[in-house]
Structure 1
Amino acid sequence: MVLSVDLGQSGTRIRSNGKNITTARGKLAGEDPLVALRVVFENTEKLEAETVALSCTGFNGIVPQTAAYANLCHEFFGATHVAVIDDGLAGFIGALQARSGVVLSIGGGVVSVGGNKGGFSHRDGLGSTFGDEGGGFWLGKCAITRALAYRQGRGADDGLLKVFMAEVAAYDDLDVKNSTDAATLAINSAHKLLDAADAGIKSAMKIRDEGAQLLADTVIATWFGAHGTELDSPEIAIHGGPSRNRSYVDAIQRTVAQVIPGAQFVDALGDNLDGAKWIGENMLTDSPPLLRWGHVI
């Protein structure tokens, strides 16, 4: 039996023997995934499993040495075998079940993994300071930044400030304007930006369209990085919170199709938890840099 964990920026999910646990505590901005996992596990009910599969944000495409993760899971779950997985790989396996294509995972951040003829490629997942373009943090940050600019008279407000008055007030209440609470505020504002774009607010539409272009570029680069070409017909799945907005997904898909006309856009068959569980049961050796195993003897 595999206990699977999906550590994200907006929360953490745990699945064990049919039991699902969700917590709003995820990996905070600038926080080591190991630290975040310890906090989550300390506040989770007692569970036991011989094998644990950890899908984690924050690895930036390179899973570190696993001894500390293995010891952590042994401490809390009695585990002796621990798969430490870049969340992009877990999302890819869960969504396409290892078929050739690309899986774009959009949460607070962004990670894209492609698989083709047994090889993998990884794009973005670079963190909110220098990457994660088009993700939830990026969308919310751009929206609040623009609303604050309108409040200062930098540009003519087209209705965005009115829509984001609650978020602007929340910004004002922050003791530290670039804190983890600020990052959470940005992530939680992404859906409102996409709704504002759907409502026809031009500044929101501009942000949405730029985000869609950036994400399409990420998908294309991922497929080419897996030695695919523009003549192929890869399956492409897009999942995660912001992907619930149909207009956003449509814009991404249109741009990808201009470069890879044969792309087949499919629904994700599963998510990171499904992928982590499958990896824990089937990929029993290291596949660096996206998967490494740790063992406690």
Structure 2
Amino acid sequence: MLRVLAVDGGQSGIRLKSSAQPGTVEVDGVSRLEGDTMRSVAGAVATAWNHGKFAPVDRVIMGLTTVPADTASFSRLAELVSATTGASEVWIANDTATSHAGALSAEAGVSLNTGTGVACLAVRENGETRTVDGDGYLLGDSGGGFWLGSRGISAVLRALDGRGETTSLTTRAAEQFEGLDNLAARLHSAHRPVNRISQFARSVLAAASDGDAVANSIVENAAHELFLTARVAVAWVAADAPLALGGKLLGPNTLLFARLVEHLASEGMSFRPADGSALEGALLIGSGDADNLYRSLIHVWKEGNPA
């Protein structure tokens, strides 16, 4: 029986799950700001692997927000992970693919997942794919955790300067970041600043739920951005294409979810909750053949014959 290790690698956390044994192990995530990104990702996988005392596997499939940018980096990461896990095959894809597989049980349609960033993948029945947004915290991921958190902190700094409205986010920021003195400088120089800033997203959502006007505006804008992303993706597949919503910020009881649903309803768009997580999607893809719905999105490395 094929033994598969699934890796869900984000900026907030990296999770490992094996098809050969129960349990999930999570360690700190990795961003592209952390020097040698491929070595950092491989090191995080090794840490989780050792902590979980996993048995050797035949294949590793990795869904990453920090997917390599070139073939040499793909091969280097695969070799490092293979050395840790004993796997003779390592499959690497952007986490949009594994999120989609989990959300839609590896069937055609659109998945929209929000965490630190945004993962939206549209897949047609013939296997054609299109990614919408997911352009990273510097250039996109509109409506995601970093997007919300950074705008919330920016609103706090503007209020402190006298350039913006008074907001309860100021008190929340002081509590979360141990004061406001030199806040911008401290965040710029923080370890894993993307994750640190994205954690403020929940404070923005909480403040909006409590009626703070500034936070409410940020959340409304986030919901509208996610709606635009979903609308474009669904239109590309088909008007009646299934749309699955998932990710930690789009849970059924979150304000962001409720606002997004309002936008979708205004256009008569239907949706469903994600069937499963990106980690479950990775296991689903990795347990099958390489000739699957996501084949154009997966870099396959094989020991002795790297692709």
Structure 1 length as normaliser, TM-score?
A: 0.89
Deviation at 1:28, TM superposition (A): 2.0
SS of equivalent residue, structure 1 residue 72: helix
Equivalent residue for 1:69, pick from 55, 74, 77: 77
Equivalence for 2:30: 27
The answer to whether the 8 A contact 1:33-1:56 is kept is no
**CA distance in 2 between partners of 1:250 and 1:289 (Å):** 34
Question: For residues 224 and 58 of structure 1, what CA distance do their matches in structure 2 show?
Answer: 28
Residues 152-185 of structure 1: per-residue CA shift (max 9 Å, x gap)? 2223304332232224526736765424543222
Query: Equivalent residue for 1:41?
Result: 45
Cα pair 1:52 1:79 within 8 Å, conserved: yes
The change in CA–CA distance for 1:156 and 1:174 in structure 2 (over 3 A counts) is: closer
Partner of 2:6: 4
The structure 2 residue matched to 1:202, chosen from 181, 196, 213, is: 213
Q: Which residue of 264, 282, 289 maps to 1:276?
A: 282
**Is residue 100 of structure 1 aligned with residue 119 of structure 2?**
no
Q: Which runs of 5+ in 2 are unaligned?
A: none
Determine the structure 2 residue equivalent to 1:233: 240
Please state if 1:83 is matched with 2:94.
no
CA distance in 2, matches of 1:52, 1:220: 33
What SS does structure 1 have at the residue aligned with 2:250? helix
> 8 Å contact 1:63–1:291 — kept in the other structure?
no
Structure 2 residue aligned with 1:291, among 294, 298, 301? 298
Aligned residues: 289
Question: What is the match of residue 151 of structure 2?
Answer: 142
Percent of aligned positions with the same letter in both sequences? 26
Task: Name the counterpart of 1:187.
Answer: 198
Question: Displacement of 1:290 after TM fit?
Answer: 1.8
Measured in 1, the distance between the counterparts of 2:185 and 2:4 equals 42
Q: CA deviation at 1:125?
A: 1.6
Could you list the runs of 5+ residues in structure 1 that have no partner in the other structure? none
What CA RMSD, in Å, does the superposition of the two structures yield over aligned residues? 2.3
Structure 1 position 253, deviation (Å) = 2.4
CA distance, structure 2, for counterparts of residue 182 and residue 171 of structure 1: 17
AA paired with 1:267? P
Q: Distance in 1 between matches of 2:46 and 2:221?
A: 40
Give the partner amino acid of 1:152: D
CA contact (8 A) 2:187 2:196 kept: no
Find the aligned partners of 2:83 and 2:93 in 1 and give their Cα distance.
19
| Mapped partners of 2:115, 2:244: distance in 1 | 14
| 1:86-125 alpha-carbon deviations (Å, 9 max, x no partner) | 1011011111112332111111111101122132211112
Number of the residue aligned with 1:247: 255
Superposed displacement of residue 217, structure 1? 0.8
